[in-house]
Every structure is written in C-alpha cells, then in structure tokens.
C-alpha cells in the first residue's frame, strides 16, 4: 500500500507485464494498493509512505526526489 502524506506524481506498472496500472497526481490522505509485483515511480518521494504486508517501510525518499522501487 502507498499512503500519501502530501501531493506526488505516481506511476505504477505491473511487475510481470509492464502494463501501466495507474499514472497521475495523488493528493494527501490518499491510500492506494495494487497486486504484487509492481514497479512504482514517485515524483515526490518525501510525500509517500510504503507499507508492505502490514510492515511500514517508511517514507520513500526526500521531498521532491524521484524514486523508482519494485515491490514483490
């Protein structure tokens, strides 16, 4: 699950097929979940918290930082 604590651009692709599952801007207070595996690209990593299988992985990076991450 991705939890947005601020506004960020987001692209999520299927980790097997590469098909785009979501692409757009997401606002604070939003949560999004996708079936694994997925590849995630965020445009404001300081605003996005990753939670995998109930475990809080923390903020994905610094404010304004573009980050790519794969979740399996």
pLDDT band at 58 (very low <50, low <70, confident <90, very high): very high
pLDDT band at 62 (very low <50, low <70, confident <90, very high): very high
Cα distances (angstroms) measured from residue 27 to each of 3, 6, 20, 43, 53: 10, 6, 19, 12, 23
pTM of the model: 0.93
Q: What integer pLDDT is reported at residue 7 of this predicted model?
A: 98
Domain boundaries, the chain: 2-71
CA 27 to chain centre: 12
Q: What integer pLDDT is reported at residue 19 of this predicted model?
A: 98
* Residue whose C-alpha is closest to residue 10's, from 36, 34, 45, 56: 45
Q: pLDDT tens, 3-40?
A: 999 999 999 999 999 999 999 999 999 999 999 999 99
């Amino acid at each position: 699950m991705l939890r947005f604590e601020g506004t960020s651009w987001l692209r999520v692709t299927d980790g097997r097929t590469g098909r785009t599952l979501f692409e757009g801007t997401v606002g604070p207070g939003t949560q999004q979940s996708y079936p694994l595996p997925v590849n995630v690209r965020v445009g404001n990593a300081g605003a996005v918290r990753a939670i995998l299988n109930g475990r809080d992985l923390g903020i994905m990076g610094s404010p304004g930082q573009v980050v790519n991450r794969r979740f399996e």
